Amino acid sequence: MYKAILSDLGGVIIFFDHGIATRAFAEVCDSTPEEIRDYSFRSEHQFKMEKGFISGDEFYRILQDRFRFRIDRRKFNLLYSDIFVLNPPMDNLLRSLKKYYTLCMVSNIGPIHHEFCEKKFDIMGIFNYKILSYQVKAMKPEPEIYRAAVAKLGIKPEECIYVDDLEKFVEAGAKQGFRAIKYTSHPEFLAELSKILPAEHLRGHNT
């Protein structure tokens, strides 16, 4: 019997496009979107922030020193973060499933994006627990972040359903004992859930 649902954030509950930020930043400095992308979203700096090794302030100073953005810190946070859109079917589903299961978010995320998402998306407030990489200083697919979720929930891994959009993270979750499902599309995800959850728990959601 499953007692908890563990869900990724980006690529499952919300979708994102780093290109929105890099193009916006390119308009307020003298570098290209590609240069900004490689030094921020695809860099060791992003990794260090998401793993809690550097703060959001330190991340900002590193990028500001490199690109000399013609904006203040508040505007930087907005341009860096305003890249997300809600996935409404997943929003609706999780709100329904909360009646039956403990909800736990497991996400690789840094403090700037976390603060933005908490303010923008009401769905963030429905989770019983959030296991965030920068807070636990471990990132998927490292086993420590999954173990942190199990410890917080106080149940067995076999009692957890885990959903993520990246195959390597799904495989890592399965190795920890979760019933791991890859999120490729909402209809496909519902079809997988219908195989393992009572029909009444999915009532009102087309499979």
pLDDT, tens digit (0-9, with 9 covering 90-100), for 119-158 = 999 999 999 999 999 999 999 999 999 999 999 999 999 9
Beta-carbon-side half-sphere exposure of residue 3 (alpha carbons within 13 Å): 8
What separation in angstroms does the CA of 23 have from each of 35, 65, 201? 10, 18, 42
- Tokens standing for residue 80: 């860096």
Q: Which of 25, 37, 111 is nearest to 68 (CA)?
A: 25
Long-range CB contacts for residues 114-119, cutoff 8 Å, separation at least 24: 115/56, 115/77, 115/81, 116/77, 116/78, 116/81, 116/82, 116/84, 117/9, 117/14, 117/81, 117/84
Name the E strands within 57-135.
84-86, 102-107, 129-132
pLDDT band at 8 (very low <50, low <70, confident <90, very high): very high
149 and 111, same structural domain?
yes
Q: What is the CATH number of the domain that holds 104?
A: 3.40.50.1000
pLDDT one-digit tens code per residue, 73-91: 999 999 999 999 999 999 9
Domain boundary residue, one of 65, 81, 97: 81
Q: Stretch 48-76: mean pLDDT, rounded?
A: 97
175 and 162, same structural domain?
yes
Instruction: Indicate the average pLDDT of the chain.
Output: 97
Can you give the pLDDT at residue 60?
97
Can you give the pLDDT at residue 66?
96
187 and 119, same structural domain?
yes
Q: In what order do the strands lie in the sheet with 129-132?
A: 129-132, 102-107, 4-7, 160-164, 179-182
Report yes or no on 67 lying in a domain.
yes
Peptide bond into 141 cis (omega under 30): yes
Distance CA 139, CA 106 (A): 9
110 and 38, same structural domain?
no
Whole-number percent of the chain with pLDDT over 70: 100
Distance CA 51, CA 137 (A): 5
**Per-residue pLDDT at 45 exceeds 90:** yes
C-alpha 15, offset from chain centre: 9
- Tokens standing for residue 96: 């329904």
178 and 89, same structural domain?
yes
111 and 9, same structural domain?
yes
56-67 and 73-81 helices, crossing angle to 10°:
100
Domain boundary residue, one of 46, 81, 116: 81
**Per-residue pLDDT at 207 exceeds 80:** no
pLDDT band at 195 (very low <50, low <70, confident <90, very high): very high
198 and 168, same structural domain?
yes
94 and 196, same structural domain?
yes
Considering its fold, how many domains does the chain have in total? 2
Whole-number percent of the chain with pLDDT over 90: 97
Domain boundary residue, one of 47, 81, 115: 81
Distance CA 171, CA 10 (A): 17
185 and 143, same structural domain?
yes
Q: Which domain holds residue 56?
A: 18-81
